Structure 1
């Protein structure tokens, strides 16, 4: 090889950041994401308005919604958004908490890296701290019974406080507890999909109601059908009420006009037979997943049967759970035993749209919350608040353990972790201390968002925990005082805390392990160049948002 000739390993449109550069960049990206949602934390958190490229607007302070709607290019930032998504999927609430803690852990890690502490030592220290945190949380958690509706309501209200639906939190708390307790299975587990949240704007949040059954956003297929059926016997069909087409492509040639009439009459007879079979089973309401022929609609209307077509598969399944009906794939198999029951099935106008209400089911294992709000954006935010609250109530029923909110748990964890750090040898001790300091970002942020003096509040909280030995003292952002959060009814499920801290720790560890970023630029119409397009301008974070 000729002397002085460069060795080209990577193509020219690839950028590479190594060592501290890569770490600094990733940490910065993570911290920017955390800073973005930080101001939304707590009862006094602010909202964000997100406008997409089509001009659609979302106004929310729900951490995961903000992060999902933001168009983020940076790969490290995307990894932090995954934390929020996992938190949402696993527990339904605490997404902002998880991301804010992750951002603070990264900030503390950066301080340690600047002191020449090796990333693997920071990671080891964080792992030790996480183990200890899980231990302490189990110690300070309080048992709650699945039938303690008062406590479950407080948990739902804590989740709703600070969101758009806050003014109706009492009523929503009751509705959510009723809904969740209705769908608990015999093993004490809860499938949140069985609680349908139907959104309709036009009136205030106070008009939100729980329907012990299912609401279908459809109308009757024929205006001649009854609008209201009491003591409904419900048939659920997964087959069309139409003349079946041949399986293979077939051509029928009719040469005689009389044969044509016979053919049409035969089709009509087939449809009439189908309706007769439905009628014979005793059904007076039919929900069909497929289509219903116009003529069949006429026969059903004559028979006084209310029918709805093209109902979503998920809604059919919920109807089955709510009414006890079996889903039938062939009308010939329909019998009286397959029918479900409901006290009332009616078509009602809600905000100008016709909807079918299946109410008064005896033991519904699927229910519907009809969320209301004055405008589309308000009702969307109400539905998000309901969704989060359903998650936390479900967690509490399944686990039976809660901790105090208002930053109480975090202050207690930080205090005990500092004591534990003294027992850790080596430089890992610094990382454990950093972890303890990072957890205090939650009470500090709660204070900042409420316009209180964060340092003063932190000092007061620490003093109260140290002198009283009570892990329930947190920050009441409304009075600006340090109070017993359990007495104030500010409580959260244990799982929300454990999951948030665990996800935050694991994602920050993952980012700290990265010491080399190799990224190809996005090829655009112009010459691929500039500041690392494929990574959203990683150098200056230009493409972050």
Structure 2
């Protein structure tokens, strides 16, 4: 019998070695962003081989630019990227929760709990926690709800100018647009050094006018949006015959006629997805038409929506002038902003849009202000979608208590995996308290006791005074989608890491 136990332990050694190595790699990554969490979080300086510097406390920026080689660590980076792509904020919380779940899962495995039971328990515990989090959400139904401004203020690192700009832009866009699937308020942020920070009722195209001979400003401009190149139709030069030459000339003549139609229709702005024929550029410049070429598809869509223009292909220019006229959009003003090196469009007849212009003294500072502004915009939009919960780690601590009660209803060894979720949910507040310079163990026990006594989910630690305080009363709240997605994603990647039994180096691809 002893021999069999010894054999079992030997079989487990490769797995435990892999799991411990993965857990350590994950912890190292989390430690890089942990000091940035909370109101007292500090910045991280990133330096590359050219001594170029980025100073930030944005979790996804730190993780994305860190030199990371370990495969499990890269999985954690993907957690942050997924969090950023989905809700635009909460990347540090997602990273800490993922690391905590792996760490607590490892502890249970080292106690002798089968890893499959730990995994199942984590999955059950995470699902239960997400349900409880949803139940605790406070919904927002009106754009003038004061909690929106509090959420923006917290997400903007208490930058009042950014908070006001984000709120103004949100009101200009309207609730219906903010709830629209696929639209991101953060995409309205445009940053540039040495410009005045303000909200612009309109859109910005990230291209200047093609030619300095084109007018810088056009009033009451008709807008053509071309999801194509503004060039004559392509024709193969492979066959050099008189017939081929004649056809090529005919296509060019047709193209010139199309240009004349556009000029006669008094088109003031042409935005194209592709390139522009040099002759067309010259003709349009002479006619006083502003042209922005090779514009990204996303921006092309924005111009269409804002001005009311319908996108057309090059073949659509063959339509009659009357038919083309019906496809044109309209705006009050087009300006080639030389400070931005971009075109600004205002007074569109389509769907209202707003642009948040963010400025600063240097490139390094403006880059960080852009990230902060995008976080605030994402947080406001997330709160409109799903409401908010108490911040500062308070709601996670309250849910940890719920999960612990749920653990008592779970049969078998899966309950140890549920315990891992309960322990991991305490990590955000623990880190916030530590970053504020207080003893996490002492403060968390005080909060736990008072939360239980008052049956509250909003009690946390005032990071200025180190006392238990109501986060709702202090205005410290977070959007539910940010918190929920962080927990969901963290649970998924933690399970994926715990499932890894062995790490095997792949052979290199043959070099020919």
TM-score category (smaller protein): 0.7 to 0.9
User: Hey, what does 1:324 align to over in structure 2?
Assistant: 308
Alignment-derived partner of residue 274 in structure 2: 290
Establish whether residue 60 from structure 1 lines up as the match of residue 56 from structure 2.
yes
Task: Give the 3 Å change call, closer, same or farther, for CA 50–285 of structure 1 in structure 2.
Answer: same
Task: Give the corresponding residue for 1:305.
Answer: 289
Count of residue pairs brought into register by the alignment: 493
Q: Distance in 2 between matches of 1:521 and 1:244?
A: 49
Pairing 1:198-237 to 2, within 5 Å after superposition = 198-203=190-195, 207-237=196-226
Q: With structure 1 as the length reference, what TM-score do the two structures score?
A: 0.81
Q: CA deviation at 1:357?
A: 0.8
Residue matched to 1:171: 164
Residue 407 of structure 1 pairs with residue 407 of structure 2:
no
The match for 2:262 among 256, 275, 278 is 278
User: 1:54 Cα shift?
Assistant: 5.1
Distance 1:144 1:190, change over 3 A: farther
Report how far residue 277 of structure 1 moved. Answer: 0.4
TM-score, normalised to structure 2's length?
Answer: 0.86
| 1:252/1:133 CA distance change after superposition, 3 Å | same
Checking the alignment, whether the CA contact within 8 Å between 1:45 and 1:449 is kept in structure 2 is yes
Which residue does 1:77 correspond to in 2?
73
CA deviation profile, 1:219-269 (whole Å, cap 9, x unmatched) = 333334322112121112244444545234343679xxxx99xx99x9996
Structure-2 residue corresponding to 1:387: 374
Aligned to 1:369: 356
Q: Deviation at 1:40? A: 1.4
Unaligned regions of 5+ residues in structure 1, if any?
A: 1-15, 526-545
Decide which structure has greater helix share: 2
Aligned residues of 1:17 and 1:516 also touching (Cα < 8 A)? no
2:347 to 360, 363, 380: 360
List alignment gaps of at least 5 residues for structure 2: 1-11
Please name the residue that 1:535 is paired with: none
Q: Which residue of 2 aligns with 1:529?
A: none
Provide the C-alpha distance between the structure 2 equivalents of 1:369 and 1:356, rounded to a whole number of angstroms.
Answer: 14
Is residue 2:95 matched to residue 1:102?
A: no
CA contact (8 A) 2:205 2:343 kept: yes
Q: Secondary structure at the match of 2:338?
A: strand
Measured against aligned partners, the alpha-carbon deviations of 1:60-111 in whole angstroms (never above 9, x if no partner) come to 2221222121221111112222222222222221111111112112222232
Residue in 2 that maps onto 1:347: 336
Partner-residue secondary structure (3-state), 1:458: helix
Q: In 2, Cα distance between the equivalents of 1:373 and 1:58?
A: 15
Say if 2:171 is the partner of 1:181: no
Change in CA separation of 1:67 and 1:196 when aligned onto 2, cut-off 3 Å: same
Q: Counterparts of 2:43 and 2:252 in 1: how far apart (Å)?
A: 59
Which residue number in structure 2 is paired with residue 4 of structure 1?
Answer: none
> Match of 2:55, SS?
strand
CA distance in structure 1 between the aligned counterparts of 2:230 and 2:150, rounded to whole angstroms: 48
Please state whether the residue corresponding to 1:284 is helix, strand or coil. strand
The whole-number CA distance in structure 2 between the counterparts of 1:225 and 1:363 is 25
Q: Is the 8 A contact 1:407 1:442 kept in 2?
A: yes
**Residue 363 of structure 1: how far off its partner (Å):** 4.3
What's the secondary structure of 1:46's corresponding residue?
coil
Equivalent residue, structure 2, for 1:5 = none
Partners of 1:278 and 1:240 in 2: how far apart? 15
CA distance, structure 1, for counterparts of residue 53 and residue 478 of structure 2: 30
